[in-house]
Amino acid sequence: MRINKFLAHAGVASRRKAEELILSGKVSVNNVIMTNLAYQVEAGDRVEVNGVAVYNEEPVYYMLNKPRGYISSSSDDKGRQTVMDLLPKGKERIYPVGRLDWDTSGLLLLTNDGEFTNLMTHPRHGVEKVYIAKVEGQANKENLRPLTLGMIIDGKKVSPARYEIMKQDKTKNSSLVNLTIHEGQNHQVKKMFAAVGLPVQKLSRVQYGPLNLEGLAPGHYRRLTKKEVSQLMNAVKK
């Protein structure tokens, strides 16, 4: 396996970032600084980044139906519950693919495959994510139209989104909206709705690429099949 791919699969960095680490002299193989990007890592090789050994585990992929009240992180210095508390305590060093806010529920992927993580989360790859949002106010074509044109969020342009108004409750002055986006900026969905005057009251991610939560109860997880991983990879825009 080429050394940049080895580092990516080990979760160190994307292949491109791994190449930068190699060329900057921060990677060694068997105690020798390695700058050859074509080097093939073999069984028994000791690979280090900044003096820390790197081990390439067998890649694993999980899907979790995240409940509200959990941090999407491998650990938390404030002692709060993380999604890792819901996963098996195995030998693999897995971590969340992107994030869902503490108060957001729904589909969260976890893996130990750094290259997969980069493909799933980088905006240019355009993997669709579908959310159901309960918002304050009456959603309609007029106030949701900016979402379909692309918006500026925190100084960055986000791609046009698709929406479907699922329900309106005039008594409680709220609406239920299905929203499909292609990026995953910090608090993106909440900020998009806030920008059109419909603050989010409750949010859940119900689909990631071709995967949905069918048959998976809140707080439960399962490993993805090889077919599902392939489907996710095929959802990446080249």
Which residues are marked as active site? 101
Identity at 48, one-letter amino acid code: E
Give CA separation, 158 vs 100, 124, 149, 184, 208, in Å: 18, 11, 9, 9, 18
Let me know: does 48 contact 55? Beta carbons within 8 Å.
Answer: no
Let me know: does 25 contact 35? Beta carbons within 8 Å.
Answer: yes
Radius of gyration of the chain (CA): 20
Chain centroid, CA 60 distance in Å: 15
CA distance 56 to 3: 11
Closest CA to 224 of 70, 94, 122: 94
Let me know: does 195 contact 149? Beta carbons within 8 Å.
Answer: no
* Burial class (CB within 10 angstroms; exposed 0-12, middle 13-18, buried 19+) of 47: buried
Helix (H, G, I), strand (E, B) or coil at 20: helix
